């Protein structure tokens, strides 16, 4: 298996155009991996903390907030 240093030496032997192409390809690859790992859905937060508001009258709360 090639090490980072081995790959770096190989990249140094590429032309500047090839290096840029490799850099662009690597950026795409990393973005895909990050997107897969961090795919969160805002809807998964629905109902979170619902128990905090249990027993509160929503209109009364709004009226109190507006009167401040």
- Number of domains making up the chain: 1
At 37 the pLDDT is: 63
- For residue 39, name the pLDDT band (cuts at 50, 70, 90): low
Q: Which two tokens stand for residue 35?
A: 């997107």
Taking the whole predicted model, whether its pTM rises above 0.85 is answered as no
Question: Which is more confidently placed, 35 or 3?
Answer: 3
12 pLDDT more than 90: yes
Asked if the structure places residue 34 within a domain, the reply is yes
* Nearest-angstrom CA–CA distance, 13 and 61: 68
Asked if the structure places residue 3 within a domain, the reply is no
Asked if the structure places residue 65 within a domain, the reply is no
At 48 the pLDDT is: 87
Asked if the structure places residue 19 within a domain, the reply is yes
Residue of 10, 19, 33, 56 whose CA lies nearest to 65: 56
At 44 the pLDDT is: 84
Residues 4-23 have a mean pLDDT of 96
């Amino acid at each position: 298996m090639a090490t980072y240093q081995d790959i770096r030496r190989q990249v140094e032997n590429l032309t500047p155009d090839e290096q840029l192409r490799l850099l662009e390809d690597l950026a795409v690859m990393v973005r895909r991996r990050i997107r897969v790992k961090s795919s969160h859905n805002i809807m998964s937060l629905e109902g979170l903390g619902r128990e905090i508001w249990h027993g509160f009258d929503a209109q009364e709360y709004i009226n109190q907030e507006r009167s401040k």
